[in-house]
Structure 1
Amino acid sequence: MTEETSQDGALRRDLAFLYRLYCPVDSTGDCFFLLHGSGVDETTLVPLAREIAPHAMLIAVRGRIFQEDGFRWFSRITPTRFEQPSIRTETDAFAGFVTDVAALHNLDLSRTNFLGYSNGANLVSSLMLLHPGLVERAALLRPMPVIDDVPATDLSRVRVLIIAGAADLTYAPFAPALVTLLSQHSAEIDARIVPAGHEFGSADAAIVRQWLSGSAAVAQAG
């Protein structure tokens, strides 16, 4: 028996998305949904999440769109243009998955954080805009806006961290537009820039930890 129970980390196929559940025996009760970037799988964000919150439960989910040697969350037209029906279909399905996995594993969604990277971050922002109420805190690494027709959504109870890479020439220029979009829907935004490209690393982990500490302080004060 290791830090995690013997069944943790196994690929689970009991819901609409394939996923892995990691639950430390000394879990704090906090939970992270992990949404990976394009062309990889659900395991790629686990080390980063462990660096951020070593005692949190992790739900590492696999996108359903197959791409080359990995997976993504919705279909793309170009690196910065995406198929709108695919975004909405997969976001709707993921909203149902969040509800189902919370019921199945007795998760407290008020203590849940969403950590998304690149295409996974874009799925999280779509989830906030299309299914308000499911996401209260989200850390989005290297994101951009992807929805063409955004509904009138109230995000006044949502706290969002956006981290762009200074050398990410393809995607960083779109980050300010996402900040503006979510701010217009009343989300509380903390926007940061790290000296990196599209890749993520320990600098991102440190910022997310700091941001989560501030979120916890706000919750206790409230």
Structure 2
Amino acid sequence: MTVLRLPAAADGAAPLQRSPATGLRFSLQRATGCGPAMRPLVLLLHGAGGDETSLLPLARRLPAHVHRVLLRAPRRMARGGHYWYPVRFGQHDTEVNLQQVQAARRRLLAFLGELEQGCRFDPRQLYLVGFSQGGALASTLALSSPGRVRGLALLASRLLSHLEPTPELAPALATLQVFMGHGRQDEVLRLVHAERAAAALRAAGAPVSWRLYEAGHELALPMVEDAAAWLCRQLPLPPGSPQAQP
């Protein structure tokens, strides 16, 4: 197995690296301070048309004792930016190819397995953050691998219709903490889809923190701030570190 060599980087837009096993490009902000304890990892996935810098404002608001990985989607759009899998917008809903979604999920899993070899993170403290399509992909990983993901933040996003959870998953999803933020004026991914996702997650046993914003399909500043604050409440401090300030 090829092991990633991950140099430390200062806070901000760390240089892009390439995963040898998956070919995915990513930016890593390593955890600092608080001794040798294994740290939580926050993986941030942008939406279609974005790149690894899209969620940088959120990553910068996370505490220093947490590893932060900003991942770039592998497919390039003709108009600029990147995406995870093709989407067709139908009259009533979006259409995706399930095989392509599952291929993207497997590639993400392989990346995490490789990352675990080169970055000392606690596999019990994996948090996924996704905007729009990045959130939909993050949710497929969280719902198909119950117990692997500790927290899931979906920003202007949804669950893919054919991958919604069922009540039978309730015991496994009871420990999955979920944040959902959505714009009331979102015309790209309408509010009804996010409301349906929140209802499905709650019915399957996941605790959901739900926020609405006067915004369209965008990473509005209040949404970014609320998601970061929610993550900070979920993220544990390493053993022996000072207590968090109120």
What's the TM-score once normalised by structure 1's chain length? Answer: 0.85
> For the residues of structure 1 that align with 2:163 and 2:215, how far apart are their CA atoms?
31
Residues 123 and 84 (structure 1 numbering): CA distance in 2 closer, same or farther, change over 3 Å?
Answer: same
- Per-residue deviation, 1:211: 1.9
> For the residues of structure 1 that align with 2:131 and 2:122, how far apart are their CA atoms?
23
Q: Which runs of 5+ in 2 are unaligned?
A: 1-7, 240-246
AA aligned opposite 2:67 = M
Residues 3 and 191 (structure 1 numbering): CA distance in 2 closer, same or farther, change over 3 Å?
Answer: same
AA aligned opposite 1:193 = L
Moved over 3 A (4+): 24-30, 149-153
What's the TM-score once normalised by structure 2's chain length? Answer: 0.77
The answer to which structure, 1 or 2, has the higher relative contact order (CA under 8 A, 6+ apart) is 2
**Which structure carries more helix by proportion?**
1
Q: Tell me if 1:95 matches 2:109.
A: yes
Residues 11 and 27 (structure 1 numbering): CA distance in 2 closer, same or farther, change over 3 Å?
Answer: farther
Question: Could you say which structure has the larger radius of gyration?
Answer: 2
> 1:3–1:25: 8 Å Cα contact kept in structure 2?
no
> 1:77–1:83: 8 Å Cα contact kept in structure 2?
no
- Per-residue deviation, 1:113: 1.9
- Per-residue deviation, 1:185: 2.1
> 1:38–1:71: 8 Å Cα contact kept in structure 2?
yes
> For the residues of structure 2 that align with 1:83 and 1:92, how far apart are their CA atoms?
15
Q: Tell me if 1:64 matches 2:70.
A: no
Q: Tell me if 1:118 matches 2:125.
A: no
- Per-residue deviation, 1:45: 1.1
AA aligned opposite 1:19 = F
AA aligned opposite 1:140 = L
Q: What RMSD, in angstroms, separates the aligned Cα atoms of the two structures?
A: 2.7
- Per-residue deviation, 1:8: 4.3
The superposition leaves residues 66-123 of structure 1 with CA deviations (integer Å, 9 ceiling, x where unpaired) of: 3222211122122722221111111122122222212221211333321110000000
> 1:81–1:146: 8 Å Cα contact kept in structure 2?
no
> For the residues of structure 1 that align with 2:106 and 2:141, how far apart are their CA atoms?
8
- Per-residue deviation, 1:150: 4.6
- Percent identity, aligned pairs only, is 23
Residues 134 and 41 (structure 1 numbering): CA distance in 2 closer, same or farther, change over 3 Å?
Answer: same
Residues 107 and 65 (structure 1 numbering): CA distance in 2 closer, same or farther, change over 3 Å?
Answer: same
- Per-residue deviation, 1:9: 2.4
Residues 65 and 132 (structure 1 numbering): CA distance in 2 closer, same or farther, change over 3 Å?
Answer: farther
Partner of 1:22: 29
Count of aligned pairs = 215
From 84, 101, 104, the counterpart of 2:98: 84
- Per-residue deviation, 1:130: 1.6
Partner of 1:53: 62
Q: Which runs of 5+ in 1 are unaligned?
A: none
> 1:84–1:147: 8 Å Cα contact kept in structure 2?
no
- Per-residue deviation, 1:198: 0.8
> For the residues of structure 2 that align with 1:42 and 1:32, how far apart are their CA atoms?
13
